[in-house]
């Protein structure tokens, strides 16, 4: 009987999740009709922020590894755009750029993954930071090609099937791609593969002793995380019309970790909540308090970590909602 | 394969930690459905011996052959796939999983379904049915959907053993299945384990500290001391030998 109850509960949760997803996609589709370009860009940035945060999320919530190197793949995706669509104009066709970015991120993530995944825990995190520094300094030094610290600007809007997209068109493309990536992630998280990753995160020795090829699975997870960031990188470059070496910076990678924490790593919608709240917070605080916004962001994250830990904002909201519904129940009972 | 043909053969296994000899020149043959109890004082090299067979520790010298195949250089996960499954003395369980997921993890691994990225696990009928079956066999139905972290020590030991059965093992290496468990529970777990081993006709090496328990089971027993086998046979006889009494119990002056 207990089993049945749990099954029903998980079914209800899934139903709830799909309702939330469908409503939010609907809202995202119609919202440009009501708001200005400013807000639309903010939403677009948040949406594109989600996939790399999901990369951090699978490495943390399943494998228990802290992934700083996500910025490398954002950098790869965005510099690909800067070269091919901007500086050395070749094409700005999204249907070419996105697959190329995907393949490139998979190749580079496979190579980096071999080195990084040799160690876990603290060492993995530190080696991730070291790796981003290597890429960052290469990009800064190769001034002739990459424009050095000035970066590359004046990136035109992308084409889709040969037609150049307007800013609004780019917004819709971003919605479609990030929603597809979220749905794909949902599938991955319910798969046998993710259960194996969870086992590795739980106890590496035990995982190995029941026949799980630990190293290979870890590398695959790393590649998935990297390719998610790579695709986002392409669209982020078009969103900002500018690419700079700070895309490779480890602090940029740390932003994704902060977003994951902010949203709550215990929930599937945590990274989504986290991405939206981080990007929004970042934007408003930096316009309102240009001189000390980093302190406020830092404090906000510190407070979240201390008070709710892995539950994040999602956990807070959930707690609040269940409190309300419980109060309602008591009232009904009293009647 | 012939039922009496050797399943696992260990030849001249050696392992040193600096000057300390953990395992010195051990050879052992295990037939199909042969169960061996391994006893010995702390530091006798029992766990090291099992770890070497499971591939968790590398031997300095020697060979391990499973059904005619030399597996001395195989990594642990490949040996597990070949049917050598080890459980640990200290608790090694996946705390953040439910019992059902815990067993399913092993079922996925046994069926080589690691790389199903896009299939929903709840739709994999074979895996779910087999996991249910094992949960029933080990009397875990009540706690099927409970998280492992909220269960007690006794349950965790059973879950650990049940997980290794989900791997479709040929030979089980079980390191102290009853350590840190109360007297009554001890016998219950051991009986459960022995019943399943007999039912599935598995081979096993079981390390056990409780000599009364070993004696009651009456299975073939090997006594290990300073990295060597010093006695072997029926526990009733083995425990009467002078050198064994010296080592395991110690003599009053």
CA pair distance A256, A247, nearest whole angstrom: 12
Longest pairwise C-alpha distance within chain A = 76
Instruction: Tell me the DSSP string of B100-112.
Output: HHHHHHHHHHHTT
Q: How far apart are the first and last CA of chain B?
A: 53
Q: Which of B108, B142, B163 sits opposite A192 (nearest CB)?
A: B108
Q: Which of B76, B92, B121 sits opposite A191 (nearest CB)?
A: B121
SS (H, E, C) B150-217: HCCHHHHHHHHHHHHHHCCCCEEEEECCCCCCCHHHHHHHHHHHHHHHHHHCCEEEEECCCHHHHHHH
Identify which has the larger pLDDT, A333 or B186: B186
> What interface predicted TM-score (ipTM) does this complex get?
0.89
The pLDDT tens digits for A244-290 are: 998 888 888 999 999 998 898 888 889 999 999 999 988 888 888 88
Query: pLDDT by residue for chain B (253 residues), tens digit each?
Result: 444 468 899 999 999 988 888 898 899 999 988 999 999 888 888 999 999 999 999 999 999 999 889 999 999 999 999 999 999 888 889 999 999 999 999 999 999 999 989 988 988 999 999 999 999 999 999 999 999 999 988 899 999 999 999 999 999 999 988 888 888 888 999 999 999 999 999 999 999 988 889 998 889 999 998 888 988 999 888 888 888 888 877 665 4
pTM: 0.90
Measured between beta carbons, the chain A residues lying within 8 angstroms of B132 are none
Burial track B171-206 (b if 16+ CB lie within 10 A, e otherwise): bbbbbbbbbebeeebbbebbebbbebbeeeebbbbb
Sheet holding B228-233, edge to edge: B84-87, B171-175, B203-207, B35-39, B220-225, B228-233
Please report the pLDDT score of residue B202 as a whole number: 93
Q: Minimal Cα distance from B110: which residue of A?
A: A211
DSSP assigned state of A266: T
The pLDDT tens digits for A45-88 are: 999 999 999 999 999 999 999 999 999 999 999 999 999 988 88
Decide if pLDDT at A14 tops 90.
no
Asked if B171 contacts B160 with a C-beta cutoff of 8 angstroms, the reply is no
Asked if B157 contacts B189 with a C-beta cutoff of 8 angstroms, the reply is yes
Q: Minimal Cα distance from B132: which residue of A?
A: A3
Nearest chain B CA: its distance from A236 CA (Å): 27
B89 has a chain A CB within 8 A of its CB: no
Please report the pLDDT score of residue B1 as a whole number: 44
Q: Which residues pair with B172 in a beta bridge?
A: B85, B204
Closest CA to A251 of A319, A297, A183, A285: A297
Q: Which of B85, B88, B108 sits opposite A196 (nearest CB)?
A: B108
């Amino acid at each position: 009987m207990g089993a049945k109850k749990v099954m029903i509960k998980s079914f209800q949760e899934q139903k709830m999740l799909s309702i939330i997803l469908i409503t939010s996609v609907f809202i995202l589709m119609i919202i440009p009709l009501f708001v200005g370009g400013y807000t639309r860009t903010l939403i677009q940035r948040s949406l594109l922020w989600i996939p790399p945060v999901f990369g951090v999320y699978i490495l943390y919530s399943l494998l228990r590894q802290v992934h700083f190197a996500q910025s490398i793949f954002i950098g790869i995706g965005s510099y690909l755009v800067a070269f091919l669509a901007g500086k050395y104009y070749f094409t700005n066709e999204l249907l070419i750029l996105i697959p190329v970015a995907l393949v490139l991120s998979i190749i580079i993530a496979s190579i980096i993954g071999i080195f990084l995944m040799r160690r876990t825990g603290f060492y993995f995190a530190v080696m991730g930071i070291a790796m981003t520094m290597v890429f960052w300094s290469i990009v800064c030094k190769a001034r002739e090609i990459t424009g050095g610290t000035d970066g590359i600007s004046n990136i035109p809007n992308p084409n889709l099937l040969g037609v150049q997209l307007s800013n609004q068109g780019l917004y819709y493309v971003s919605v479609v791609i990030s929603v597809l990536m979220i749905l794909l992630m949902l599938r991955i998280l319910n798969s046998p593969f993710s259960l194996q990753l969870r086992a590795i995160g739980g106890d590496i020795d035990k995982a190995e002793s029941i026949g799980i090829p630990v190293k290979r699975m870890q590398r695959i997870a790393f590649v998935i995380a990297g390719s998610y960031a790579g695709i986002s990188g392409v669209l982020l470059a078009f969103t900002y019309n500018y690419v700079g070496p700070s895309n490779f910076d480890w602090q940029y990678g740390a932003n994704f970790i902060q977003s994951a924490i902010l949203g709550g790593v215990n929930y599937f919608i945590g990274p989504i909540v986290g991405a939206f709240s981080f990007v929004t917070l970042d934007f408003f605080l930096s316009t309102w308090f240009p001189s000390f916004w980093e302190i406020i962001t830092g404090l906000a994250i510190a407070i979240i970590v201390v008070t709710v830990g892995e539950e994040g904002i999602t956990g807070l909201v959930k707690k609040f909602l269940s409190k309300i519904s419980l109060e309602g129940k008591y009232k009904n009972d009293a009647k | 394969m012939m039922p009496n043909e050797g399943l696992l053969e260990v030849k001249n296994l050696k392992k040193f930690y600096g000057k300390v000899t953990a395992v010195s020149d051990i050879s052992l043959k295990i037939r199909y459905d042969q169960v061996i109890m391994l006893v010995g004082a702390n530091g006798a090299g029992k766990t090291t011996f099992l770890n070497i067979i499971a591939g968790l520790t590398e031997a300095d010298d020697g060979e391990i052959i499973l059904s005619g195949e030399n597996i001395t250089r195989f990594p642990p996960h490949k040996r597990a796939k070949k049917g050598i499954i080890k459980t640990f003395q200290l608790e090694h369980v996946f705390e953040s999983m439910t019992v059902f997921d815990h067993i399913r993890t092993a079922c996925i691994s046994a069926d080589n379904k690691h790389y199903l990225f896009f299939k929903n696990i709840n739709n994999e009928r074979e895996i779910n049915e087999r996991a249910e079956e094992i949960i029933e066999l080990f009397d875990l139905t009540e706690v099927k959907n409970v998280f492992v972290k909220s269960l007690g020590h006794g349950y965790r030991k059973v879950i650990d053993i049940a997980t290794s059965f989900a791997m479709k093992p040929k030979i089980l290496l079980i390191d102290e299945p009853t350590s840190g468990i109360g007297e009554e529970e001890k016998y219950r777990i051991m009986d459960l384990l022995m019943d399943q081993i007999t039912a599935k006709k598995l081979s096993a090496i079981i390390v056990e500290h409780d000599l009364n328990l070993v004696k009651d089971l009456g299975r073939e027993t090997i006594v290990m001391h300073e990295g060597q086998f010093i006695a072997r046979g029926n526990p009733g006889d083995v425990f009467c030998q002078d050198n064994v009494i010296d080592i395991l119990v110690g003599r009053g002056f």
